[in-house]
């Protein structure tokens, strides 16, 4: 089985508005329409902060809906009054295409965070602002597993509609695959109405699963859950640290290993943190099963002689705890990503040397490189067509070009949720023309235009 790699690089790192949207005006015009629990307020950089401060929206007004119907009323108001808008859940999207200024309105989905299981617990409705942590907590209490991304603080549904990588991917597919098998998705569209979209809506449903922000605001989705016994909520996971001289052997091992459905790995270049910011090579292992089976499956990495080992049996509720270190918001981060079908050790040695040099410059110690490797056999079951700043910037772009030079792909590709400044062909591949045709049908005025607009 070949392994698909997803690579991301994160760097630690007031224009005049001729017209602004005023709070009093919106309160007067929109006020009577949403439910009593909806909130209309001015924008506050702290209360509505995003994970990346650079290029973050600065709207004139924020409306926090209390119900899915509220979202429809807000979109209808915006389209009727030619007001630009953006929906925000977790606030972790880092696209350079965001362009909401003081003349725009932010739809803050904070109150739509319920996670509700059916009576038989074989499906679950995930609200538009439910975080990965909330989904995992509810799933664990219901003795069920649900495919989510691997970072606790991000919005579960937003990440899912961009693909949805996660720990269970090898066994149950991407997050969107678990909507494909499903059920339904509630969507507020350009007509200002709330629609329930199902697989019977062939073109639109296909487009939503990968390019959803171009077609509406997903207020909830019903997706599959997987019942398990108590023993089925345990995995073996943790971190291995390697000395730099082991990097090339480590890269070659990652490139060769056959990942079974229960397995995934993440390779990090990171530092020890303040005050020293010592560069280090780290490998995060995940195995859905017992410690004995996990150690056997990943024995090739232990054979390389890690200098530190934190792996242990971990309950489902804590599988993603390690990601919390990356959850702090409002940083000046510049993320660049690349898709790889192979790893070349000499490329990674060069990348390591560049990284060590870069983090020695000062004020760059929180920068990191990560590579995620997952088994893709389950995702291939659904088919590829089943779902649709200054010197720091220069350095990060250079690193991306370096990886792409030996990526083993016919043309550049990137995981949608990790896209930053790429062209549409890199993000959506051969699906661009079909997506544009569907976009012209359902959103001819392009009111949903903030996220890699078609």
DSSP string, 319-380: TTGGGGGG---SB-EEEEEEEES---HHHHHHHHHHHHHHHTSSS-TT-EEEEEEEE-HHHH
Domain CATH for 32: 3.30.43.10
Mean pLDDT, range 385-389, rounded to an integer = 48
Same domain, yes or no: 92 and 120: no
Domain match, 38 and 102 both? yes
394 assigned to some structural domain: yes
More confident residue, 225 or 211: 225
| CA 419 – CA 412 distance, rounded (Å) | 12
- pTM as predicted: 0.83
Q: Measured between alpha carbons, how far is 255 from 342 in angstroms, rounded to an integer? A: 6
Residue 392 makes CB contacts below 8 A (sequence gap 6+) with 11, 13, 334, 364
pLDDT of residue 405: 61
Residues 276 and 357 in one domain: yes
Most confident of 90-99, 148-157, 415-424: 148-157
* pLDDT above 90 (res 375): no
Within this chain, do residues 198 and 251 fall inside the same structural domain, yes or no? no
- Shared domain for 37 and 76, answered yes or no, is yes
pLDDT of residue 132: 92
Q: Is residue 446 part of a domain?
A: no
Residue 451 falls within a domain, yes or no? no
Q: 453 lies in a domain? A: no
241 and 119 housed in the same domain: no
- Least confidently predicted of 88-97, 153-162, 299-308: 88-97
Q: Looking at residues 129-158, what average pLDDT do you find?
A: 91
Which stretch of 354-363, 393-402, 405-414 has the lowest confidence by average pLDDT?
Answer: 393-402
Q: Residue 204 above 70 pLDDT?
A: yes
What is residue 112's predicted lDDT score, i.e. its pLDDT?
96
Sign of CA dihedral 144, 149, 151, 156: negative
**Mean pLDDT, the chain, integer:** 82
| Cα separation, 100 vs 21, whole angstroms | 11
If asked whether residues 196 and 294 sit together in one domain, one would say no
CA of residue 451 relative to chain centroid, distance? 13
Whether residue 251 sits in one domain with residue 180: no
Question: pLDDT of 341-352, one tens digit each?
Answer: 778 899 889 889
pLDDT of residue 180 exceeding 70, the answer is no
Name the residue among 307, 283, 312, 292 with its Cα closest to residue 373: 283
* Secondary structure of residue 239 in the 3-state scheme: strand
Residue 448 counted as domain residue: no
Given 74, 108, 142, which residue is the final one in a domain? 108
Residue 450 lies in a domain: no
Q: Is 45 exposed, middle or buried (CB count within 10 Å of its CB: 0-12, 13-18, 19+)? A: exposed
Q: Which of 158-167, 244-253, 353-362 has the lowest mean pLDDT?
A: 158-167
Instruction: State how many domains the chain has.
Output: 3
Same structural domain for residues 285 and 410? yes
108 in the Ramachandran plot: left (φ > 0), alpha (ψ -120 to 50) or beta? beta
Q: State which H helix or E strand residue 314 sits in.
A: strand 312-315
Question: Is the per-residue pLDDT at 32 higher than 50?
Answer: yes
In contact, 207 and 435? CB cutoff 8 Å: yes
pLDDT at 149 over 80: yes
136: pLDDT confidence band, cut at 50, 70 and 90? very high
Residues 181, 90: Cα–Cα separation, whole Å = 25
d(CA 161, CA 214): 11
Cβ proximity of 71 and 30 under 8 Å: no
Q: Which of 123, 59, 60, 132 is nearest to 89 (CA)?
A: 132
Based on the fold, state whether residues 270 and 351 are members of the same structural domain: yes
**Of 85, 108, 131, the domain-final residue:** 108
User: Given pLDDT bands bounded at 50, 70 and 90, which one contains residue 444?
Assistant: very high
Instruction: For residues 49 and 192, state if they share a domain.
Output: no
Which one has a higher pLDDT value, 177 or 104?
A: 104
Mean pLDDT of 150-170: 82
In whole angstroms, give the CA distance from residue 281 to residue 270: 7
Whether residue 313 is predicted with pLDDT greater than 70 in this model: the reply is: yes
Q: Check which CATH number belongs to the domain holding 267 and give it.
A: 3.40.462.20
Closest CA relative to residue 27, chosen from 69, 86, 71, 77: 77
pLDDT value at residue 341 = 74
Compute the 3-state secondary structure of the chain and give helix, strand, coil in percent, each to the nearest 5: 35, 25, 40
d(C-alpha 339, C-alpha 403), whole Å: 9
Domain that holds residue 91: 20-108
Q: Does 454 map to a domain?
A: no
Residue 51 lies in a domain: yes
Residues 366, 320, single domain; the answer is: yes
Last residue of a domain, one of 64, 83, 108: 108
- The pLDDT of residue 206 is 84
User: Domain holding 123: CATH number?
Assistant: 3.30.465.10
């Amino acid at each position: 089985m070949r392994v698909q790699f997803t690579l991301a690089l994160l760097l630690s790192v007031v224009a005049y508005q001729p017209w602004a949207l005023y709070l009093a005006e919106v309160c007067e015009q929109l006020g009577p329409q949403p439910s009593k629990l909806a909130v209309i307020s001015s924008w506050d950089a702290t209360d509505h902060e995003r994970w990346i401060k650079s290029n973050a929206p600065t709207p004139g007004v924020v409306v926090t809906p209390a119900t899915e119907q509220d979202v429809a009323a807000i979109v209808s108001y915006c389209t009727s009054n030619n007001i630009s808008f953006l929906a925000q859940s977790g606030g972790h999207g880092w696209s350079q295409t965001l362009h909401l200024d003081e003349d725009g309105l932010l739809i803050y989905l904070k109150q739509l965070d319920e996670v509700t299981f059916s009576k038989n617990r074989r499906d679950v409705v995930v609200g538009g602002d439910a975080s990965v942590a909330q989904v995992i907590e509810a799933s664990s209490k219901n003795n069920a597993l649900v495919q989510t991304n691997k970072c606790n603080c991000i919005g579960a549904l937003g990440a899912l509609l961009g693909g949805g990588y996660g720990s269970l991917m090898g066994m149950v597919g991407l997050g969107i695959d678990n909507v494909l098998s499903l059920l339904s998705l509630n969507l507020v569209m350009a007509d200002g109405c709330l629609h329930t979209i199902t697989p019977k809506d062939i073109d639109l449903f296909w487009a939503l699963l990968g390019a959803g922000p171009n077609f509406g605001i997903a207020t909830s989705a019903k997706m599959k859950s997987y019942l398990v016994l108590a023993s089925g909520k345990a995995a073996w996971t943790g971190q291995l640290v390697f000395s730099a001289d082991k990097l090339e052997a480590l890269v070659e091992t990652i490139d060769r290993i056959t990942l079974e459905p229960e397995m995934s790995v993440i390779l990090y270049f990171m530092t020890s943190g303040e005050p020293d910011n010592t560069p280090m090579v780290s490998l995060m292992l995940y195995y859905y099963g017992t410690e004995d089976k996990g150690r056997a499956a990943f024995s090739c990495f232990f054979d390389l002689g890690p200098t530190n080992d934190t792996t242990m049996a971990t309950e489902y509720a804590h599988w993603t705890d390690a990601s919390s270190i990356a959850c702090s918001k409002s940083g000046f981060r510049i993320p660049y990503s690349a898709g790889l079908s192979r790893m070349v050790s000499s490329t990674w040695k060069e990348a390591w040397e560049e990284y060590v040099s870069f983090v020695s410059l000062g004020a760059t110690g929180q920068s990191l490189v990560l590579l995620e490797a997952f088994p893709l056999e389950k995702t291939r079951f659904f088919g590829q067509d089943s779902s649709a700043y200054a010197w720091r910037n220069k350095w990060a772009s250079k690193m991306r070009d370096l990886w792409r030079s030996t990526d083993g792909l016919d043309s550049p590709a990137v995981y949608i949720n990790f896209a930053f400044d790429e062209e549409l062909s890199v993000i959506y591949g051969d699906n661009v023309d079909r997506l544009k045709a569907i976009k012209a049908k359902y959103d001819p005025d392009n009111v949903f235009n903030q996220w890699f607009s078609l």
